[in-house]
Chains A and B, each alone.
Chain A
Amino acid sequence: MVLSDLARFVQFACALSVFGLAAWQRARLRATPAPAGGEEPRWLALYAVACLLGAAAGIGWLLAEAQTIGGTWTALGAVIVSTRFGAVGALRVALLALAALTAWAGRRAGSPWGTLGVLTGAAVLSFVWSGHGTAGAGPLRGLHTIADALHLVCAAIWIGALLMLSAVGVRAVAVRSPQSSHALWLALSRFSGIGPGLIGLLAVTGFVNSWILLGPAPWAALQRSLYGWVLIAKLALFALMLGLGWRHRYRSSPALARVLSAGAGAGAGAAQAGEPVLDCLRATLLIETLLAFLVLAAVAVLGNLEPPASPS
């Protein structure tokens, strides 16, 4: 079970991260002081490795499932052919492998963000059909499927944004130039435009999913099941992320803007005064990114637990 959870987590982390980052790149929301031509090949190499890692984790997960339900890893073929989760899992492996190839080849060909987004986006959506995403009966099942798909896409975009912001923040601290600080402020401002909408959608779709999986008495169900306690942990991590996001939007970003305004033409003194703001922002962005991956770990564990609404 632990290996299965780990393999699920790696798949989640790789697929959601690359899709989220590719979505941002595609939408031209990336802010970097370096020329795009110099950075893109390195990013694409990283994405290729991440997709390959996700594909490998997918194979590992299928082998673990074959061992668990078939008694031997050689039941892999039967798992893929005779179960839906097996077929979807195999498709996900193929999508991530293709995405890795696309990213790697794109280092020379350039700008494969659309193709990469489609392949990794399909991989992200595949999680809906290989877990509890299709739980529910009748119209409820359709609602759950849509909510789960939206939840995953929003989570991926948020994670992609955090990774991008963290990278820009780390660069801003390393370089400590007005240009890199401005790039960070610009990236934060652009994310703040869609951040509230993303978080709102995450909250609504998360509520719908929990209501369907926990049943008509959600609070009682939370307390009497391991599924419930892991879900509580996930919600607590989400709340911490919200707190940091609030801080970034209403404290850190305005403080950085003030530093940039004061620093324009004011020389080294103003730049030094802005260093604590940059250091703090880098730290909180990295912490929020770490929290996001802890949320994914909780999701990976939840996928292997029985929701309380399941009839016994």
Chain B
Amino acid sequence: MLGGWMTQRTRMTLLTVTATAMSWSTLALAHASLRAADPTPNATVGAVRRIHLQFSETIAERFSSLRLTDTDGNPVPLMSLPARDASSLDAMPTSRLAAGVYTVSWTAVSTDDGHRTSGSYSFTVR
């Protein structure tokens, strides 16, 4: 009979499994904010081989993104790279960046609560 199908042992097992399955060890600060970036904001660099964004918590890479635009606002082609960890986004320009000011625009979706944050910053290539 479905109404009493669950024995006491089954109930405790279900509770334990549920609690364990939910005990994912993630560092969460409610929303994913940008903690560090390379190139750093407002930096002047010689060459850019990799753009690395480090967030405050685990992000859903599938729904997060970063874009690079040049001084005129034109998109710069990027190639996605395997992220260093579950809290970062990595990409590299497909060709050498000419001298100028570039803007990184990012969107990050927290895997904990699904909230989306976004931002941008600029750096200069000499």
Chain A interface residues (CB < 8 Å from chain B): 65, 68-70, 75, 78-79, 82-86, 88, 91, 101-102, 105-112, 114-115, 118, 121-122, 125-126, 128-132, 134-137, 141, 213, 303-304, 306-307, 309-312
Contact = CB atoms under 8 A, between A and B. Distances in A.
B113 A85 contact: yes
Contacts of B79: none
A69 B28 contact: no
Contacts of B110: 85
Interface of B: 1-6, 8, 11, 14-15, 18-19, 21-22, 24, 26-31, 33, 35, 56, 58, 60-63, 109-116
Contact of A312 (B6, B33, B111, B113): B33
Contacts, number: 127
A29 to B, nearest CB: 20
A132 B113 contact: yes
A185 B11 CA distance: 34
Contact of A84 (B3, B15, B111): B111
B9 to A, nearest CB: 12
Contacts of B31: 306-307, 310
B11 A118 contact: yes
A129 B4 contact: no
- Return the 10 tightest CB-CB contacts between A and B, nearest first: A109-B3, A106-B3, A105-B2, A112-B3, A109-B1, A135-B30, A115-B6, A83-B111, A83-B60, A310-B31
A141 B33 contact: no
